[in-house]
Amino acid sequence: MSATATPVPELLQQLADSLDALAVSQQQELQAIVERQHARVAELAEQKAQQLAEVSELDAALREHPESNLLQDDEQLAAQVADIKQQLAAVKHQSAVNERVVQSTLNSIEQLKQTILSSARKDSLTYNAKGKIR
């Protein structure tokens, strides 16, 4: 069934469902980041990419739909669009939160690395016969 043959309300529902699935993936991703489940984070990133592509396709299908004017003209559909915009805002917010958590984790790892390297350098000091550091 082509996208233009799919009724506008059905496309809107598919878009809402896709955003819900994306939100769930983001929550799972955050949990995996916190629990340091790196393989799971990579798996979820791939899943999110597919979900984002689906959201994009549905958005494009709605934009190009011959009856797209219904999105503004029909009150019920306009209300659905407003709900979807709120969903999208929540997804964007969660994405920003996840990004900050990832950045914070990377910063912590970098600090730990620097501490370890600094400690290793101190342990590798050598002394001459008079007890002076070389």
pLDDT in tens, 27-76: 999 999 989 898 999 999 999 999 999 999 999 999 999 998 888 899 99
Q: Any idea what the Cα angle at residue 36 is, between residues 32 and 42, rounded to 5°? A: 60
The encoded tokens of residue 96 equal 């920003």
| H helices present in 35-129, as ranges | 38-64, 70-73, 75-123
Position of tokens 């590798």?
124
Task: Read off the pLDDT of each residue in 11-40 and give the average, rounded to a whole number.
Answer: 95
pLDDT at 3 over 70: no
pTM for the model: 0.78
Q: Could you report the per-residue pLDDT of 68-126, keeping only the tens digit for each?
A: 888 889 999 999 999 999 999 999 999 999 999 999 988 988 998 888 888 766 666 66
The encoded tokens of residue 68 equal 């797209």
Report the distance separating Cα 109 and Cα 98, nearest Å.
16
Report the distance separating Cα 25 and Cα 45, nearest Å.
8
pLDDT at 4 over 60: no
pLDDT band at 1 (very low <50, low <70, confident <90, very high): very low
For the chain, the structural domain boundaries read 3-94
Q: What is the pLDDT of residue 87?
A: 97
